[in-house]
Amino acid sequence: MAKAPTADREKFRDELLWQEYARHLYARIGTRLFENLRFEQVWDEAGDGWPPGMACVDFAVDALSQDGWLVNQTRMWLASQWSVRNQAGWLHGQERMYRELIDGSRAANLLGWQWTVGTGTGKPYGFARWQVQKRAPVLCGGCALKRNCPIENFPDEQSLAAAAFEPLLLSDPDPQRTAGPLLVVENRAPQYVLLTIDSLGDGDPALVANPTLPVVFVFNEAALKKLQLSAKRIFFYLETVQDLAERKDVQIYLGDPHQFARENAVAVTYAPVPSFQKFTGLAQVHPYPWLKKPHGQSVRSFSAWRGKLG
């Protein structure tokens, strides 16, 4: 990385910081990120925003369902097509994308959709044929709609009304609570290390601090039934745990991880997600490995947030 061209190095750092911004935002406002954040846009309306027929959209949807991964540009195409063009509720579009993505960060996916459909900025991203021809002209060349392209021109500019004011966007009265513990919280000696989806692997701080303890991962049965994650997403988790099992004593269960933590003395790494608050009676809580510690000032935009980083 140190030898990379300056532009590439800065772009890489920006991408890491964008992910960190998403985590900071989600940690602060929690489930509020599932709603229109700053501006109103179609939100909970039913409908499929990706009807088949356009080669560019079909290509991206196929990649999502078959590979479980998309580059940022095609994620933006799909989000814009779902809500900005087809007026389907973005809440359902992001949920469909989240189910399929093997790198499905809830925070990053929600923020990406908010930014693209305009609820986070007031300016929806306009998806048009020009962008496809610039990056993947072969798709347009082979499209059945190439002579009657429904995205020939950019969509009409939308004027989005302001959403209900969210004061937490401007300031955080308790940034320490948002960040989680800065030092290990030790209530008693742990018997297990409990891994979560948000910290799954050798670098988990609780695992690093307790290298000889057996490792437990509990697939949350209720969450799996609710989310209906794709098979490849679940298989990715299994592969990750299987790889760890080559070096550690790993036990896998299907059930309720919060109940397991209540009934056993576990060490766990804090996760900046709303569901972590369901854990009680933990033996040890280890700090989350932030790239940048959350601050208490504005997070209403990436630039505002970044300008206040220490």
Model confidence band, residue 294 (pLDDT cutoffs 50, 70, 90): very high
The pLDDT of residue 172: 98
**CA neighbor of 34 nearest in space, from 273, 258, 269:** 273
Task: Let me know: does 304 contact 30? Beta carbons within 8 Å.
Answer: no
One-letter amino acid identity for 189?
Answer: A
pLDDT 10s digits, 137-168: 999 999 999 999 999 999 988 899 999 999 99
The pLDDT of residue 6: 80
Task: Let me know: does 296 contact 172? Beta carbons within 8 Å.
Answer: yes
CATH 1.10.579.10 intervals, the chain? 36-162
**CATH superfamily, domain at 181-286:** HUPs (3.40.50.620)
Res. 222: pLDDT tops 70: yes
Residue 55: exposure state from Cβ atoms within 10 A (0-12, 13-18, ≥19) = buried
One-letter amino acid identity for 11?
Answer: K
pLDDT 10s digits, 229-241: 999 999 999 999 9
- The predicted model gives 15-19 an average pLDDT of 94
Res. 103: pLDDT tops 90: no
CATH 3.40.50.620 intervals, the chain? 181-286
pLDDT 10s digits, 56-78: 999 999 999 999 999 999 999 99
Model confidence band, residue 1 (pLDDT cutoffs 50, 70, 90): low
Mean residue pLDDT across the chain: 96
Residues 131-166 as b or e (16 or more Cβ within 10 Å = b):
bbeeebeebbeebeeeeebebeeeeeebebeebeeb
Q: Which CATH architecture has domain 36-162?
A: Orthogonal Bundle (1.10)
The pLDDT of residue 12: 87
pLDDT 10s digits, 165-196: 999 999 999 999 999 999 999 999 999 999 99
Please name the helix (run of DSSP H) or strand (run of DSSP E) that holds residue 92, with its range, or none. Answer: helix 90-100
Task: Let me know: does 27 contact 272? Beta carbons within 8 Å.
Answer: yes
The pLDDT of residue 58: 98
The pLDDT of residue 9: 82
Model confidence band, residue 5 (pLDDT cutoffs 50, 70, 90): confident
